[in-house]
Amino acid sequence: MSAFAAAPAAALAAPVISPWDHALTLLHNRYDDEPAALVRTRERRSLSRFRYRNAETFFESLDRGFYDRRDEMLYQSGIVTQLALTSHLLDVGFSDRWNARHVRLDIAKGLAYANATGFAHHCPDMARLAAVLSPYWKWGHAHQFDQPRPDDGGYTLDAVRPILRALLDRVRDVTGHPRPGRSRHRQREARL
């Protein structure tokens, strides 16, 4: 469990004085983003948990093989990754509005901001996947454009699954959010 996850409720409304100021300043300058005021609140913590659970839900669909076309699989992978990374960013105090305005659907940028704020997921495979996914909207519409297909990096579902599982596990480790339990329907099926 992270130190943030165990922070007293009174500390959740205070601005974060972070060891990340220098790293964030470099990223703000690199991307020409307005500086983010990191403020931890109960609402952001709750939204962080909600995003993490949604990321796990979308991952489950991928894990079960519901998306067999590469474009669909990469689009869903982008959704999982974006939800996971914004879960961390919300947890450390970024506002949802700031994320929507500056990170948007750029997975590589979200990963850079996450790593600059203590996420510490410097996985070369994740960095490579993030570059392929960014911005992930292109995979949801790749079949609709009369343009060359984006480079898919040769990714297959079997290659993507462990990368995304490691990312989700890292979010859980850093935020302290519990992994969603099995649904009642699935629990009932397991008992039969």
Give the CA-trace dihedral at 129, 116, 98, 145, to 10 degrees.
-20
Check residue 12 and give its pLDDT.
55
Task: State pLDDT tens for residues 3-53.
Answer: 444 455 455 555 555 678 888 888 888 989 999 889 999 999 999 999 999
Residue 188 has pLDDT above 80, yes or no: no
pLDDT score recorded for residue 138: 85
pLDDT of 185 higher than 70: no
57, 60, 76, 87, 114 from 180: Cα distances, Å? 8, 11, 19, 14, 22
pTM score, two decimals? 0.82
User: DSSP string spanning 68-84?
Assistant: -SHHHHHHHHHHHHHHH
Q: What is the mean pLDDT of the chain?
A: 86
What is the structure's pLDDT at 120? 94
pLDDT per residue as tens digits for the range 114-130: 999 999 999 999 999 99
Q: What pLDDT, in 10s, does the model give residues 70-92?
A: 889 999 999 999 999 999 999 99
Identify the pLDDT of residue 184.
44
Q: Is the peptide bond before 148 cis (omega within 30 degrees of 0)?
A: no
